[in-house]
Each structure stands twice: as structure tokens, then as C-alpha cells.
Amino acid sequence: MRTMAAISELRARIAGIEGGGTRHAAIPFGLPAIDGHLPGGGLAGGALHEVAGSRELADDAAATMFLAGILARVPGPVFWCLRWRDLFAPALGHAGLDPDRVIHVEAGDDVHVLLAMEECLRHPGLAGVVGEVGRLSLTASRRLQLAAGESGVPAFVFRRASPVGQRADGGAAVTRWRIRAAPGEALDMPGLARPRWHVALERARGAETHEWIVEACDAQGRLALPAALVHRPAAADTARAAA
């Protein structure tokens, strides 16, 4: 009995050291395909996550909406720390994030964005803190991860214009996502269908890397699987089984 208690206490302590989000509720995407893949059934709350688009502005725009969709489903104020001035607030509402909930912090450069993030992360009760930077050092990522773990506020470092294929270096983040625009469904009539994204989980603590094609956030911030593609992973499995 005492051994069991000791082991479970050790487990809790290891989880605490790892900061893997066990102490704070996870943020589910509401999409079983992704949630089932992540430990805890969603994005770890109270942890640092890294999100990137690419050098293409449209991919950074997609990553912006991906973030807005996540934050739309967490109650509380959002602090969005900026280095560039191209965030267009009216679009956030299209992913369900009420622009009224977002407090912009124009911090000026990478160092100040990270400082501002850390300051915000010390305050429990926020829905999340986003920081847009060009680079993220290992030390900075550790500090953010620590601050997020203590307050339980999820932190998102948005690597702007990050080249595809760049080695994931910001060490302490629990997950690293790369969001890229994917071709939308071809309609019979002129016009554009719901946008699609290529969502890549490039690194995750306690999970394999994975890629999904999803339909972009709706007005409630929810992702969806494209109807025509739902069976594709299953088909791939069959192929592997046959081989």
C-alpha cells in the first residue's frame, strides 16, 4: 500500500517536472481525429505551444485563424503580443474569437514580445497569451513554459514567416504546429469553398508527429474533417495492411 502511494506520488512529481499539462485542463479541438492523437485529449492547458505558418503570408494568415479558433473556445481575456502590425482584428470574429476579448500589446521586437508574454503568463485567469516572434531561444521557451505551467494559462508562440523544413529548435514547447493553406474543394459554380488547412503536428511531447487536412475554423472556432477525405487515413491503413 505504501509502495503504491509512493509510486503515485513520484508519478505526480514527474508529471509536475515535465509540466505536461496534467495539472491543467486540456483544450480539446472537438475533432476526435486530433484530440485522440494528443495526450490528455487536447492541447495541454498551462503549457507552451509553438505555431508556425510559412514564408507565405497566406500560411501565416491560416496559422492566425488556427490560433483564434483555439482561443475562441477558452473563456477569458486574450493577450496578443505583437511585433508586426498586420493583425487585422475584424477577421478574428470569423473564427469565433470576439475581438473585444483581445488586448493587443505592441511590444516592438522579439525580446520585448517575449518579455510581455512572460508578464502576461504570470496572471491566472487569462484565456491565453499569444506572442508573435521571428526567433525563439531555448532559454526563452523554458521561461515561458515555466510561467505557463505556474499560472495555468496556455501560451502560444507564433513563429512568423518560419521557413518550411526549419528544424524545430524552440526546445521547451509541448507541441509544435505548422499550419499551411491547402487547396479548397472545387465547386461547380464560381466562388470559393470553405478554406482548408494542412495541419502538421511537427513535434509533441508524448505523441507521434502527424498531419491532417482539415476544414478551417467555422464561426465558433471549430475545425472539421473534409467529407471527401474522412476515409483517406483508413484507406492508407488498408494499403499498409495489404503490403
Partner 1 sequence: MLPDHGRQVVAAVDAAARALGIVPGMAVLRARSLVPELEVVDADPQGDLLALRRFALWAGRCYSPCVAPDPPDGIWIDLTGCAALFGGEEALLADLHRHVAGAGFAARIAVADTAGAAHALARFLPSDRPVTVGPGGQGAAIAPLPVAALRLDPGSVDALRRLGFARIGQLIHAPRGPLARRFGRDLHRRLDQALGHVPEPIEPVIAPRTPRCRRGLVEPIATAPAIVRVIGDLLDELVGRLAGIGKGARRLDLFCHRVDGQVRAVRIGTAAPSRDRDHLARLLGQRIEGIDPGLGIEAMTLAASLVEPLAPEQHETAQSDGARAPDLAALVDRLANRFGQASLYRAAPRASAMPERTVRRIAPLGTSGGAGWDDDLPRPSRMLASPEPVDVTAMLPDHPPAMFVWRGTRRRVVRADGPERLHGEWWRADGHEAETPYAVRDYFQVEVEGGGRYWLFRLGDGERPASGPMRWFIHGAFA
Q: Return the residue of 28, 30, 41, 99 that touches partner 1, per CB under 8 A.
A: 99
Please choose, out of 5-13, 141-149, 215-223, 230-238, the segment that lies near partner 1 by the rule CB under 8 A.
215-223
98: Cβ contacts below 8 Å, ≥ 6 apart: 72, 92
Please choose, out of 6-14, 31-39, 50-58, 167-175, the segment that lies near partner 1 by the rule CB under 8 A.
50-58
In the complex with partner 1, the residue whose CB is nearer, 148 or 174, is 148
DSSP three-state, residue 40: coil
In the complex with partner 1, the residue whose CB is nearer, 50 or 132, is 132
Distances (CA, A) of 122 to 1, 109, 125, 158: 38, 20, 10, 19
Q: Is 188 in the site for partner 1 (CB under 8 A)?
A: no
Distances (CA, A) of 83 to 12, 110, 167, 201: 38, 7, 22, 25
Q: Return the residue of 33, 35, 39, 91 that touches partner 1, per CB under 8 A.
A: 91
Please choose, out of 1-9, 38-46, 213-221, 230-238, the segment that lies near partner 1 by the rule CB under 8 A.
213-221
Q: Return the residue of 34, 120, 144, 147 that touches partner 1, per CB under 8 A.
A: 120
Length, in residues, of the chain: 243
CB-CB neighbours of 146 under 10 Å = 15
Q: Is 165 in the site for partner 1 (CB under 8 A)?
A: no
Q: Return the residue of 36, 125, 134, 206 that touches partner 1, per CB under 8 A.
A: 125
Distances (CA, A) of 144 to 46, 67, 140, 148, 206: 10, 17, 6, 6, 19
Which conformational region is residue 170 in: left (phi greater than 0), alpha (psi within -120 to 50 degrees), or beta? Answer: beta
The residues that touch partner 1, with contacts defined as CB under 8 A, are 56-62, 64-66, 68, 76-77, 79, 85-95, 98-100, 102-108, 112, 115-116, 119-120, 123-125, 180-184, 186-187, 190-192, 195-198, 216-217, 219
